[in-house]
Structure 1
Amino acid sequence: MLGNNYHKGLVEAGCDEAGRGCLAGSVYAAAVIFPENYRNEQLDDSKKLSPTRRYALREQIEHDAIAWAIGIATPEEIDQLNILNASLLAMHRALDSLTIAPEAVIVDGNRFKPYKNLPFATIVKGDGKRLSIAAASILAKTYRDDYMLRIAEQYPVYDWASNKGYPTAKHREAIELYGLTPLHRQSFHIRKSTELDLFAHL
């Protein structure tokens, strides 16, 4: 089973994001606070779970967490700030939206900007090590997938219902044929070929 709190004795929020490597759509982040001694053998990195399992666990997370929230940064903000800073902004927005104020933060990966001077830790592959980060990864992924399904109805030729905005062959081919939409990340400078210049600090 994954580990519980990193900062013992503090109300700790775990954070993760979804959608950094996409060519289109917003980046989503989630923050989750569990009871200090919470246990759940089913939680894991969202990438290791089937869609059906992710959505089932989303319901359980929302029931069991003492607080959870979603934060979003738009394609326009990604273009203005770059994808790393937009991802961190989405995390801060998720933390801002929690109904219980955290006293510490743990984050998947190795980059974070201090939040309200709280103690924090970045944990590489943290979504496979800590329960609250794994839960955040599941919430961020499923809520972003829901969003991509909605916007896929506006632009069906890009196959976002299947690729969720990631640079699949079908997505790249549609860009070559139809160009970019307002929901594409313009700063990624998507070239006319299978080569993509993702210079926006992925």
Structure 2
Amino acid sequence: MSKQSNPELVNGKEVVPFQLPQVPYMSPDLVIPGVLDQFLEDDHLWVPTSDSVSFKPLLLNTSAGYYVNLLRVRKSGVLSCHRHTGTVHAFVLKGRWYYLEHDWVAEEKSFAYEPPGETHTLYVPEDVTEMITLFIVHGGYTYVDAYGNATGYEDVFTKLESTRAHYQNIGIPMSELEKIIR
């Protein structure tokens, strides 16, 4: 929707949108209206990784090597020990969690920043029945044991493949997945 035919005035001055073309080959914007309501109420959109853990991808940026997703955990205890290859930003929407290696707790409405190279063990406390956190993950995770031995990995490409398989399994058109890939 363009407002060019009906210009707005702010403090008596006309507000004019950018008048030149956008950069060629730029990825399109992505807006997902009502993301929290839609995804918190619709279980089939969550991609299961185990009986108690699932994620809902919001953006899979294969060209820049990062992803944005909601992570949902419905069981207390250790989720994983992992090392980051890039930065991670987290915003807790529901419940709480912490890392065994740190003295802080990420509670509802909290923000956490995790630097590249950080290795830690995510733990959901016993009294938390459901944890949902928005994660913005640059690079990937290497899953490790307590002594740093690699046991697996996860990145935008593994998230893409898990999502593709889940969507195919439950009949969601691939065009829905393609909407969130950049």
Task: Output the TM-score relative to the length of structure 1.
Answer: 0.22
**Larger % of helix: which?**
1
- The structure whose RCO (Cα within 8 Å, separation 6+) is larger is 1
Larger Rg: 2
Query: Greater share of strand residues, 1 or 2?
Result: 2
